[in-house]
């Protein structure tokens, strides 16, 4: 609280680091390994078990996870990959890293997630994969998406950067499709500073991912093309240094232990917002599908079209002036100049474009106090 102005400073999201997290990091700093030591394996195993996957591969960011997954899926020059425009740019950039072309399919105007019927419309002989994004933490219609993928022999890579702990038909996100990617950026559910994870049940994909995060290098005697001796290793394809450090993994292990507490606090705040805004005639609160439980990464208010005259921009600025970390998630990916230069144009995905005009993200994070939640509610009621 700023004493002079009575204005609070509430971010839209932030991490929650406690003494045991610091203890875990500090112990690793005193250990023999700062990177690629025992903490990486331990974090991967705990994570795989939590989401219900056979394998997990820790990498340096969520973006690296998406890049690695696109590589392992075999995306290359000339391939098309279908994704949503209502996401962070990384969900589409990872396709371009591999030489592929992102194809944007429109969203469902109720769930804001990619619409399976729109995916089908964009399938061509060049389509290789689908990257659904569980926007705000609410799972996409995965049965419909996986049916389409099966019929057209496409790989599914879930971008679950918003969805750690979410469930779809009582299965955790992370154990459903070919590969699922997570992010541990501080605004996400758990953090390692920067960090990411790919989960999969497929042993071949797992091996490729492991090799990709370390320059494409392997020491696995069984797959070496030559063997000059015990010192010998091979770089078999072009990989990257996408390794996570043991320091980060130690923090990840400690944070993962708290995921249920973090999730239930997120749900509690979302419920409070739902109730508080239910009677506001100019706001549409988030719509939840019955088959899934959201991980509530983001809470988004949508202004009803008939009230757009009040201006999203005015409301945004008013809330910002009260110290509330408002945001707009997201600017449709293909609006960015980089994408426009590649030939993408307005009008591609009408539902996503309409939604973009009307949305404001308000603060939601587990460490948020009840007092801060009420402050945000009062501000929204007064200013929107
Ligand atoms: C955060 C995020 C990413 C990227 O994760 P980083 O860890 O920041 O690289 C990718 N996709 C979505 C939808 C995200 O929100």
**Given a cut of 70, is residue 180 above it in pLDDT?**
yes
Mutation test residue for ligand 1: of 12, 59, 63, the one with most atoms within 8 Å of CB: 63
Lookup result for tokens 């390994």:
33
- Give the helix ranges, DSSP H, for the chain: 19-29, 38-51, 62-72, 90-97, 116-121, 142-152, 203-212, 246-256, 259-277, 312-321, 337-341, 350-358, 370-383
Is 144 in contact with 174 (CB distance < 8 Å)?
no
Sheet holding 171-172, edge to edge: 171-172, 167-168, 292-293
**pLDDT bucket at 382, cuts 50 / 70 / 90:** confident
The vertex-125 CA angle with 123 and 128, nearest 5°, equals 70
In the chain, what are the domain boundaries? 19-256, 259-383
Question: What mean pLDDT value characterizes the chain?
Answer: 96
Q: How many other CB atoms are there within 10 angstroms of residue 312's CB atom?
A: 19
Question: Is the confidence at residue 309, as pLDDT, over 90?
Answer: no
pLDDT band at 166 (very low <50, low <70, confident <90, very high): very high
Local structure of residue 260 (DSSP, 8 states): H
Nearest alpha carbon, ligand 1 atom 15: 161
The CA distance from 40 to 100, in Å, is 31
* Distance from residue 30's CA to the centre of ligand 1 (Å): 30
Residues 6 or more apart whose CB falls under 8 angstroms from that of 360 comprise: 300, 301, 303, 312, 315, 316, 319, 326, 327, 328, 384
pLDDT at 366 over 90: yes
Which two three-digit tokens encode residue 186?
């501080």
Q: What is the mean pLDDT of residues 332-337?
A: 98
Residue % of the chain over a pLDDT of 70 = 97
With 70 as the cut, is the pLDDT of residue 308 above it? no
**135 CA: nearest ligand 1 atom:** 13
355 CA to centre of own chain: 19
What's the CATH number for 259-383? 3.90.1150.10
Closest CA to 50 of 190, 178, 146: 190
| Predicted model pTM | 0.97
Tell me, in angstroms, the distance from the centre of ligand 1 to residue 59's CA. Answer: 13
CA distance 13 to 296: 11
Tell which CATH architecture fits domain 19-256: 3-Layer(aba) Sandwich (3.40)
86 CA distance to ligand 1 middle (Å): 13
Active centre residues (catalytic): 188
Q: Is the pLDDT of residue 77 over 90?
A: yes
The sign of the CA dihedral 59, 60, 61, 66 is negative
Dump pLDDT digits (tens) for 258-269.
999 999 999 999
Average pLDDT over residues 54-58: 98
**Average pLDDT over every residue of 1-14:** 79
Looking at residue 259, its pLDDT comes to 98
DSSP state of 125: T
5 pLDDT band, cuts 50/70/90, is low
Residue 188 CA, closest ligand 1 atom number? 1
Q: Which atom of ligand 1 is nearest to the CA of 87?
A: 13
Residue 304's pLDDT band (cuts 50, 70, 90): confident
How much is the average pLDDT of 52-58? 98
Q: Are 75 and 128 in contact (CB under 8 A)?
A: yes
275, burial (CB in 10 Å: exposed 0-12, middle 13-18, buried 19+): exposed
Cα of 83 vs centre of ligand 1, distance in Å, is 14
Q: Ligand 1, residues 12, 60, 61, 62: which to mutate, most atoms within 8 A of Cβ?
A: 62
Q: Are 217 and 235 in contact (CB under 8 A)?
A: yes
Measure CA of the first residue to CA of the last residue in the chain; give whole Å: 22
Name the pLDDT band for 310 (thresholds 50, 70, 90): low
Average pLDDT over residues 130-138: 98
- Which numbered atom of ligand 1 lies nearest the CA of 61? 7
Cβ atoms within 10 A of the Cβ of 284, count? Answer: 18
Which range among 76-80, 206-210, 237-241, 316-320 shows the weakest confidence by mean pLDDT?
Answer: 316-320
pLDDT given for residue 96 in this prediction:
98
Q: Rounded distance, CA 51 to CA 56, Å?
A: 9
Same fold, 19-256 and 259-383: no
Tell me the pLDDT band of 312, cut-offs 50, 70 and 90. confident
* Tokens found for residue 189: 């559910």
Pocket of ligand 1 (CB under 6 A): 61-63, 87-88, 90-91, 133, 159, 161-162, 183, 185, 196
């Amino acid at each position: 609280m700023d004493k002079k102005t009575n204005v609070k400073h509430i971010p839209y999201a932030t991490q929650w680091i406690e003494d045991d997290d610091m203890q875990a990091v500090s112990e690793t700093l005193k250990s023999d390994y700062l990177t690629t030591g025992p903490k990486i394996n331990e974090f991967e195993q705990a994570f795989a078990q939590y989401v219900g996957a056979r394998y997990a591969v820790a990498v340096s960011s969520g973006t690296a996870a998406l890049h690695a997954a696109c590589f392992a899926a075999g995306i290359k020059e000339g391939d098309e990959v279908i994704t949503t425009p209502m996401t962070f740019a990384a969900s589409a950039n990872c396709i371009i890293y591999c030489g592929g072309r992102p194809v944007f399919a429109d969203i469902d105007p109720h769930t804001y997630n990619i619409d399976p019927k729109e995916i089908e419309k964009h399938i061509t002989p060049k389509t290789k994969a689908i990257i659904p994004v569980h926007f705000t933490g609410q799972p996409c219609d995965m049965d419909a998406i996986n049916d389409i993928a099966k019929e057209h022999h496409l790989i599914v890579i879930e971008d679950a950067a918003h969805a750690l702990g979410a469930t779809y038909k009582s299965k955790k996100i992370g154990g459903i499709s070919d590969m699922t990617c997570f992010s541990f950026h501080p605004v996400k559910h758990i953090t390692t500073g920067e960090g990411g994870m790919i989960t999969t049940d497929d042993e071949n994909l797992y091996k490729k991912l492991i090799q990709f995060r370390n320059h494409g290098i392997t020491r696995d005697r069984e797959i070496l093309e030559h063997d000059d001796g015990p010192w010998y290793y091979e770089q078999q394809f072009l990989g990257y240094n996408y390794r996570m450090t043991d320091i980060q993994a130690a923090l990840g292990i400690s944070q993962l232990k708290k995921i249920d507490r973090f999730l239930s606090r997120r749900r509690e705040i979302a419920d409070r917002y739902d109730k508080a805004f239910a009677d506001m005639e100019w706001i549409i609160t988030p719509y939840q599908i019955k088959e899934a439980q959201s991980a509530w990464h983001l809470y988004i208010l949508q202004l009803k079209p008939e009230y757009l005259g009040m201006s999203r921009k005015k409301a945004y600025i008013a809330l910002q002036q009260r110290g509330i970390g408002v945001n707009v998630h997201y600017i449709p990916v293909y609006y960015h100049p980089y994408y426009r230069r590649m030939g993408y144009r307005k009008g591609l995905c009408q539902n996503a474009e309409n939604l973009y005009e009307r949305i404001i993200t308000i603060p939601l994070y587990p460490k948020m106090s009840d007092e801060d939640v009420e402050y945000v509610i009062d501000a929204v009621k007064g200013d929107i």
